[in-house]
Amino acid sequence: MRLLLAGAALLSAAAYYVYLPLPGGVCEPVKLMLLDALFRSFIQASDVAHALGVCHRVHLLNRVVSWVEEVEARSCSAVHVTDSQLGGVPARVFQPKGGRRLKRGVVYFHGGGWALGSGRMRSYDRLCRKMAEDLDCVVVSVDYRLAPEAVFPDQYHDALAAARAFLSAPVLERYGVDPQRLCVSGDSAGGNLAAAVAQELGSDRGAAPRFKLQALIYPVLQALDFHTASYQQNQAVPILHRPLMARFWLQYLGADASLEPLLLANNHSALDQRAKLDWTALLPAERRKHFRPVVREGGAAGALPGLTDPRAAPLLAESAVLSATPKAYVMTCEFDVLRDDGLMYARRLRDAGVAVTSDHYEDGFHGCMVFAFPPVASAVGRRSINGYVRWLDQNL
């Protein structure tokens, strides 16, 4: 009887920890709750280790990710896979066997808040293999430096160096890539880097060859406003909670972690800065819903100089810069704090004269595309990856 009672108590405690009220309409909520409980456990363990001085919280998380997710570069019958370097930056290269003599080419930047993850992770390895095989495309997955050792603009410089190297004639010739069919892409923080690289290289009028496309997957594009409609609606929705995104930004900008409450209260940027990002004008009514701006006079703008740097926050770039960027694909998910970053960027690109495909998933959540494969496969993950690959096939 005691064992039964103890078991029931443990099950109740586990259910209480796992259960999280989720909005109606989110895809496969039970799977999402389980994923979130696992991720929360790792974050809490890393916070404890950090507080005890054992190691930095990011280092513990990355060790866990490496142990669970990282895989060797293994070729298969359809794709040749090697670990290499581009512009001095580590990268994993996926080359399809056979097919066209000249291949399409994609430079891909992984997500992880500029602090976590790697192109060597199983999920990204599978994504890039699928792209290489389905598109007959050379895919280069870039391993830029990570916080806390690297802070802005280090990650940006790595991404730019790798992209410039890939666009060089010797590299294109080495991998048999068609210089007219090139794309820069990434998800989340990687989408941020892809957008920033597209802006920089688009502004270089003398550059040749150039990217034909930019494909941004639920990108993070600004840190001026942590109370956009999507931040308010989805602040507690897995797997990217609003406090975690604030922490990622502070790590990326090399700022003190004690500023987190200011970011979450929207008390970190000057009012004239935030005027550059009027989401009430940039978002359609169905996305704004009943939410209203949270306006407070900033108190930490001087400690966060990267807030208004378009290399860190591509959404803030001038229209002339946006107009020089390539044709765009922007994926967004309804239940994602970053939804409005992507929607506003798509709007600003269109206003600047850039052709944009906005691909929105009403039941999607942040990170869903990398959950397209077993054992954590979700239906929206499969739909989103198929939509992304289909767009590339039709446009690249």
**Within its chain, how far is the Cα of 294 from the centroid?**
25
Instruction: Look at residues 211, 214, 203, 201 and name the one whose alpha carbon lies nearest to residue 180.
Output: 211
Q: Which helix (H) or strand (E) holds 333?
A: strand 327-335
Distance CA 220, CA 213 (A): 18
State both tokens at 153.
């603009």
244 touches 36 (CB < 8 A): no
216 touches 195 (CB < 8 A): yes
Q: Of 123, 141, 188, 384, which residue is the catalytic one?
A: 188
Q: Of 241, 366, 378, 384, which residue is the catalytic one?
A: 366
> Is there a catalytic annotation at residue 256?
no
> Is there a catalytic annotation at residue 366?
yes
Backbone φ and ψ of 96, nearest 5°: -70, 145
Q: Of 143, 336, 340, 359, which residue is the catalytic one?
A: 336
Q: Which helix (H) or strand (E) holds 196?
A: helix 189-203
Going by C-beta distance under 8 Å and a sequence separation of 6 or more, which residues neighbour residue 44? none
> Is there a catalytic annotation at residue 336?
yes
- Name the one residue in this structure whose structure tokens are 């997955």: 141
Name the residues annotated as catalytic: 188, 336, 366
